[in-house]
Structure 1
């Protein structure tokens, strides 16, 4: 049953038994891993693409949550630009107030803080929330929902902007989110969020965008339907190039903002591309199977030739790839990553060891699978010595290729 409108959800792909994507166990604690069925479907009524099984939020977002939004130079600049836009266009009244849902390590709010504007991050993962506090960013460690939104409104007054990046798609209980937005948002304020775009996932075969944290895969059609259901209007959309393709959605109370031409244009484009047709999703599933088959075949051939193959980027996305394709230490000996909290641990489910990124140049493997493909340009520039020494990169979206 659809979590938005209650209609029937038609399953179109089953990735089988999957672990928590952002929980990297210690080598001697792998028997304690939590697994769930990762299956995805599309609502026959409102077209919302969603997972069919929900993972308890406390298992995913906790004090040890390892992802840091500021880990990429490109993302730091992206969020600084986002903050500057809000300061220029929205936070212009006397004593403005902005709330960020899922503020992580405060990468966006740093620019807001520097401008002296009232702000609040709402971050349930205590570890990254503490990093924000250490930099003088105001943050509360809790989940954003109707109850917490009402507490914020009582203490701080209405918010001119409520923002979220790579967060709203994580939250199955969108009804409570929108009720919270309704309680907290100023009459003329905006709710702005950006998340991976279903259209790019289908076009580029980025099937690894489907994992436990990404409960929803948003399209403009489905977001507009959800906004209307909860008493809001989708008034603007903007394509973003980060993380393999995202859309920034701007939502406001009905009649307070004009609806831009971009909304209707993307609605029409999605219909033309068949993004409401089940056959489109069946073809996507066939592409997933083909890509996984090609990747495993390549890895087996390389190992049979005596080549050393590693991975780069212990990402949440890579859990879907390694576990669905059956890739373990026999095919990929180690995954190199820049996050210290992951070092000395193993990849979820597949149990491939995770080591510091410096090992890529120190050990000189023959090939490296770029699991963090959404930062491809930045990583290849940073790890230029690997390629200059004869190393080759393997990527698998939109198809398997070597570069």
Structure 2
């Protein structure tokens, strides 16, 4: 291969990266007095000569003069060096490297050999440390097995949320353009904050899975929060762009397309294995169902208040029947039956609870949108505050219920899902 001077400089930079000078880069032509590549962090300067003849001592001397402010001097040459150049480099501690037509780089001075050995030593140490970390991780997981409720959330619910999140990201440029066209900058900022929150939770979970010790309860709460936030983003986008575009249809299409590509690449679709439910899993599930039940009950109470306040407001009266119908459809998902036992029933109940939570969030989000957009400013209401207040009232009215007693015993404070 015949190298251009740009290709030779790129090869030198790649080799500097391999030596551990991670920020190495080429310089602007002529700006550094003949220095062709530098690493600011490690104070390294390099010169590259694409000569057809051996580099002599004067070129090495010029590098030493031009790079006098740098801690490390490197020289790269296609055709090697004269003996005088090697002797001078050894005296001054300059690393000489040669490269051939295949791109192979070889040390040509004592300092160059030292840098090569140092890199090899660092690489070996990194491999040993990586193996040690892997063994520690494996031992920790053997001694602290993940609970099945975490397994279900992580391996069944979480992938669904991630795929939906990915679809939102893929379609976001179109959604963003439509939101800008509506002229509501505050709403666009709010969506960007929600998206940033979803990214943060995703990054935190990815980081948590790479370290030990694992904290399963914290991770479970994070996984559930991530899923709820992704669904909230979708629900709010659906409402905000209801007159502009079919948000769910576009997301379904993007998700289907992505899933098809994934299945084609892997050869078969993913089929998660259902975990066996323990008593702790059931206890967690009942607490979660009870939490959703409180929010749904509070929404019922809030709807009664809204129907009173909005009975003469067309903006509300045309929408109220749909909201009440949705409330009536969510409630059966939370009804408890005495024969619910075993892992199969657990998975169904878990799915019901998830559906109820998501639909409750969507309903509350839609209500918020309706009452924040009332034609007259004096009619606008803070739905979240109203439902929060009604949550406490609903719990007082339903204090004898088993679910409410359990929540009180656990120190539950009514809050948005």
TM-score by length of 1: 0.22
Larger radius of gyration: 2
Q: Which structure has the higher relative contact order (CA within 8 Å, separation 6+)?
A: 1
**As a proportion of its length, which structure holds more strand?**
1
